[in-house]
Amino acid sequence: MKNIIIIAILGFACLSKLKAEEITPLWKSNYDSWDVDFSPNGELLAIGMGDSWGNAGYFCYIVDPFTGEVLHQLKNKYPRVTEVVFSPDGKELTTYSKGAFYFWNTETWELTDSLIFTQETHPGWDNYETRYSHNGEYLIVASGETGLCVINRSTFETKFRDDNEIYHVAKSGIQYKSGVEFVSTSYDDKYIMASILPLDEVIIYDFETLEQVKKYEYVYRGEFNPKKDEYLIQNMVELPQHEIKFYSNVDFFDFEHNKINSFYKFNSTSIYTYLDSGNDLVTYHGTQFVTLIDLNNMDNYIVFNDIRGGYCKINQYSMMVIPNVRVFDLSNYLGIENAGSNPFILSPNPANNQINISYTFESPAEYNINISDVTGNNLGVIDSGYGSGEYLFQYNCEQLPIGTYFITLSINGDNITKQIQIMR
């Protein structure tokens, strides 16, 4: 894979001054990776290895997302670690390979438990995607053959809901069984959503009973907003003359299933997913480009061209991973909303003992700048007053422990929040 990155910036007038060459990976590697996940606090990155590296394919690597340093190597019984997912509290990491789930303590990195699905106990078992429920008590699994699977993490009691059907491939005459490829849970764990391919259906279930609540047909996938009563559904666009299906447009619904918004901007195959904040959306378009979308104003979006790899994950601290692994710091591109069109800039990022805070006031206004930690605790006021024109403040942060923090600029009731990393 070539590591040449060309980034074009659209929308967000306040970002127009940034040049493409300023946006470079924090680090990159040639890992043959299969899946990645960030810890909830953003300080760890788990990488499930592929199977073309021989023995390396048995491992899940735990790395520092800011430097790429390998901190731990977790060996699975089988090669190709296709799923890695942290629990919501960050105390556990689940890895999956060839019918076996492994559970690791993230303090000691010892293997604490395992769950093995055999062809005798679970015929046709094939795992496509695994997620924890938001309360951490269940694993929600998308299975290619078995359907939707809900596993009680404490007891391993397993419930299945199989709405898959036999479908017929006209050209070959071969029959296949459809499968659940994507799963999502509502933030309050009341509902589960399953995307069933290639039937092109999305079904919403009651979490406790697994009874159907809502069904969408001729759609690609769906996902719940992680913070509020909202979910998205991706539509299908078919070009019969080319025997091609595109899934580029997305509609947004409330929990009463009323359509509340739409985003129709691209004509290429895309996958849309919410960021952890619930305020931003990321879409990656096959091997073509990645887009960040401000859900509070969907006319604001940034397109990053030629970020190759076809797959990415973004956490709430604005880091992006695209296997073969490259990590980007996107903190200057997210959270730019309200408070006018001027950029709120924190530099350097990561910082050591001093943070330079800059902003340009379009008109005189009262302001307040606060800092908080990853748990949401307000650590105090950095500065406040009445500002106009160019503003620059140098904040001495040497008293802060190493970690991730959030700095919020409030102007006339509007807020802009940026993430800052302290490293020494």
**Per-residue pLDDT band at 338 (split at 50, 70, 90):** very low
Mean pLDDT value across residues 7-18: 26
* pTM across the whole model: 0.73
Find the angle CA(82)-CA(220)-CA(262) to the nearest 5 degrees.
Answer: 120
Lowest-pLDDT choice from 20-34, 379-393, 394-408:
20-34
Q: Give the tens place of pLDDT for each residue, 276-335.
A: 777 777 777 655 567 777 777 777 666 765 555 556 666 655 555 565 677 777 666 655
Least confident range from 102-106, 255-259, 376-380: namely: 376-380
pLDDT at site 342: 53
Over residues 177-205, mean pLDDT: 86
Q: What SS3 string covers the chain?
A: CCCCCCCCCCCCHHHCCCCHHHCCCCEECCCCEEEEEECCCCCCEEEEECCCCHHHHHEEEEECCCCCCEEEEEECCCCCCCEEEECCCCCEEEEEECCEEEEEECCCCCEEEEEECCCCCCCCCCEEEEEECCCCCEEEEEECCCEEEEEECCCCCEEEECCCCEEECCCCCCEEECEEEEEEECCCCCEEEEEEECCCEEEEEECCCCCEEEEEECEEEEEECCCCCCEEEEECEEEHHHCEEECCCEEEECCCCCEEEEECCCCCCCEEEECCCCCEEEEEECCCEEEEEECCCCCCEEEEECCCCCCCEECCCCEEECCCCEEEECCCCCCCCCCCCCCCEEECCCECCEEEEEEEEEEEEEEEEEEEECCCCEEEEEEEEEEEEEEEEEEECCCCCCEEEEEEEEECCEEEEEEEEECC
Q: What is the pLDDT of residues 341-358, one digit of tens each?
A: 456 888 887 788 999 998
Residues 410/376, Cβ–Cβ less than 8 Å = no
Mean predicted confidence (pLDDT) in 37-62: 79
% of the chain at pLDDT higher than 90: 28
Q: 74-95: per-residue pLDDT in tens?
A: 998 888 888 899 999 999 999 9
At residue 116 the predicted structure's pLDDT band, cuts being 50, 70 and 90, is confident
Of 138-147, 225-234, 254-263, 326-335, the one with minimum mean pLDDT is 326-335
State yes or no: pLDDT of 143 exceeds 90: no
Q: With pLDDT > 70 as the criterion, what percentage of the chain qualifies?
A: 70
- Lowest mean per-residue pLDDT among 165-174, 178-187, 306-315, 340-349: 165-174
Q: Has residue 7 got a pLDDT over 50?
A: no
**CB neighbour class for 102 (10 Å; exposed up to 12, middle 13-18, buried from 19):** buried
Please name each of the domains of the chain with its CATH number: 13-329 (2.130.10.10), 345-422 (2.60.40.1930)
Overall average pLDDT of the 160-183 stretch: 60
User: Would the pLDDT of 10 be above 50?
Assistant: no
